Amino acid sequence: MLSVEDLFFGYKNTAILENIKIHLRRGEFLSIVGPNGTGKTTLLKCIAGVVKPGRGKIFIDELDAARMSRLDHARRVAYVPQNSPAKFPISVFDAVLMGRRPYIAWRPSENDLKAVADILKSMDLEEFALRDFDRLSGGQQQKVLLARAVAQDSDYLLLDEPTSNLDLKHQMEVLEMISAMVGTKRVGAMLAMHDLNLASRFSDRMVMLKSGQIFSSGTPRQVMTIENIRSVYGVEAVISQTNGHPYILPTGPAKAAV
């Protein structure tokens, strides 16, 4: 289990994240939702070990992440940032092979290469394998970054808005892939999500942030309520259900002052 205890992050006098308490089990799909600037990305970066939290602890399988070596951390937690670099002149195979970094001393072994070949095959990326990452479409690039995270062979997977900039089909494909990893490989996935309906469709649990604090958490049905949407997003909405997943249709700005 990955647990975040009383996490605080901020710059000087401004708090970005306060009193964050989250647990992520293996085999669980957890979405972090909330308006822009509520600290979703910062939260993922803290857990990924990319930035240091101001206060609070993060435990990965009972071990204090702050005392972990970088490589040890990377073997346990994979992170896919929202923005890939503008120029990344490297073949898709090499890009995925980077995921093996935590296991490589000098050069990738035969096993690393074979693992990458298998991952590319299983994710339908075989035809792009020797093409340049730069030449792929946004959706394909996102899949390659996901493949890199798969190659990292970690127990927990953090993804920052993996579906932003993707068309409907790629949104579905990418989330289905993550869902499959959660189901079959018992990976614990934590996603920062913008699209509430997609989050609700795939998540076991959701955490809703409001100005750096947890406003609500639980199953999609518990979190996606008219009241929550109103006070967090400032929007009136109707909630309906399809196949057991709640989804929202915003109808206008909130009438009452929040």
Residues that bind other proteins (CB under 8 A): 45, 48-50, 70-71, 73-75, 77-81, 83-85, 87-91, 93-95, 98-99, 101-102, 104, 106-107, 113-114, 117-118, 120-121, 126, 129-130, 132, 134, 152
Work out how close the CB of 99 gets to other proteins at its nearest, in angstroms, rounded to a whole number. Answer: 7
DSSP of 89-121:
-SBHHHHHHGGGGGG-SSS--HHHHHHHHHHHH
Q: What is the side-by-side order of every strand in the sheet holding 205-210? A: 77-80, 156-160, 188-192, 29-33, 205-210, 213-218
Work out how close the CB of 107 gets to other proteins at its nearest, in angstroms, rounded to a whole number. Answer: 7
Phi and psi at residue 36, in whole multiples of 5°? -60, 145
Q: Which is nearer to other proteins, 4 or 77 (CB)?
A: 77
Residues 6+ apart with CB under 8 A from 212: 15, 16, 17, 18, 38, 39
Work out how close the CB of 198 gets to other proteins at its nearest, in angstroms, rounded to a whole number. Answer: 23
Q: Which is nearer to other proteins, 122 or 219 (CB)?
A: 122
Q: Which is nearer to other proteins, 42 or 203 (CB)?
A: 42
Q: Which is nearer to other proteins, 11 or 169 (CB)?
A: 11
Work out how close the CB of 49 gets to other proteins at its nearest, in angstroms, rounded to a whole number. Answer: 7
DSSP conformational letter for 179: H
Work out how close the CB of 211 gets to other proteins at its nearest, in angstroms, rounded to a whole number. Answer: 24
* SS3 (DSSP) at 227: helix
Name which of 41, 49, 39 is nearest 18 in CA terms: 39
